[in-house]
Amino acid sequence: MKKIIQIYLLFAAIVLSATSCVKDGGSPCPNYLKIVYNYNMEFVDLFHREVSFFSIFMFDAQTGVLVREVKQTQHPFPENYTMLVPEEWFDQKYDIVVWAGLDDGSYNFSELTPGISTIDDFQLKVKDYENQLVDRNTELEPLWHGMLRDVFFSDLEETTYTISLRKDTRKFRLVLQVLGQSTTVDVNDLDISILSADGWYDNNNQVLDQPNREITYLPYYTANDPEVGAIAEMNSLRLMNDERTNKLLITDKSTNRVILDMPLISYLNALRLLQYEKMPLQEYLDREDEYYILVFLQAKEESWLAVQISINDWIIRTQDVN
């Protein structure tokens, strides 16, 4: 008899837990959408620190047709940011796509129409993509993407769905110093760029560029520091571990001589810390979003020769980086 009572009490507890969120008058159980950015090298949620606006695209999971687009702007967002899902979102299965930092000053992207556009209609390109040249006075708006399929908000059960964002923008700070000499290098005498086939994306954040189609990213900031050297900062979008072009190029303007032609993926892979060696390279490239590159130069035949490269504190010495 005691065992029967225990089973009954357990069953009653399950029933009550399933219905405890139903309020008087038949109000539905609350559902939540949590958005996080923990796919980074800190392995913690940085959403509230870095993201200031985002767009949610909700597509019918069966047909792929856009149901609604919701934009959220707040700076800063609270820590552990979670949205209460409106009741009109209930009782339909969705594929949900989130783009954070979707700014028309930095990117060209498809305008979608609810009830007409489908999930395959969305594309995003970096501004000036068609010219294959990104030449700006300010850095690209930081950009993130996240996606979750087969989401169903139910009024019978309290549920929280989590969408994890992945950052697409990369930032490079480059410093050039002359090694062991009293002469200095002038950033205005150099052409500095990153060449990358990474400017065009679909709604699943897949790069659509042909591997050999180069987008040239020029610095958005340059300076000469008498104590440090020539300085440049520039962006790129996703660095992909495949056959596509990804390189840092420095050329002497007066002689048109190539000072540095560095394949980024090879060097970034060689110079990552031992603790990350078991991490898949593409994961490492997607988690790391900032690189600090120090290039030491020596004078050679009225130009310069790169003899040492440091990336995020790791050093390679070379006499011929080409």
C-alpha distances in Å from residue 77, one per residue of 30, 69, 80, 85, 306: 21, 19, 9, 17, 44
Q: What is the pLDDT of residues 159-189, one digit of tens each?
A: 999 999 999 999 999 999 987 766 788 999 9
Please tell me whether residues 244 and 210 are part of one structural domain.
Answer: yes
Please tell me whether residues 94 and 175 are part of one structural domain.
Answer: no
C-alpha distances in Å from residue 298, one per residue of 184, 233, 320: 10, 22, 12
Residue 227 has pLDDT above 90, yes or no: no
Please tell me whether residues 176 and 291 are part of one structural domain.
Answer: yes
> Which range marks the domain in which residue 153 is found?
19-103+141-167
Would residue 11 count as lying in a domain?
Answer: no
Would residue 128 count as lying in a domain?
Answer: no
Please tell me whether residues 23 and 163 are part of one structural domain.
Answer: yes
Q: What is the pLDDT of residues 20-63, one digit of tens each?
A: 565 545 678 999 999 999 999 999 999 999 999 999 999 999 99
Residue 5 has pLDDT above 60, yes or no: no
Averaged pLDDT, 244-261: 92
Would residue 123 count as lying in a domain?
Answer: no
Encoded tokens for 81: 């940011």
pTM (predicted TM-score): 0.88
Q: Which of 132, 151, 167 is the last residue of a domain?
A: 167
- At position 16, the amino acid (one-letter code) is L
Instruction: Return the CATH number at 43.
Output: 2.60.40.2100
When divided into structural domains, the chain yields a total of: 2
Is beta strand 200-202 parallel, antiparallel or unpaired with respect to 133-134?
A: unpaired
Instruction: Return the CATH number at 304.
Output: 2.60.40.2090
70 beta partners:
56
Would residue 114 count as lying in a domain?
Answer: no
Would residue 305 count as lying in a domain?
Answer: yes
Would residue 9 count as lying in a domain?
Answer: no
Percent over 70 (pLDDT), the chain: 88
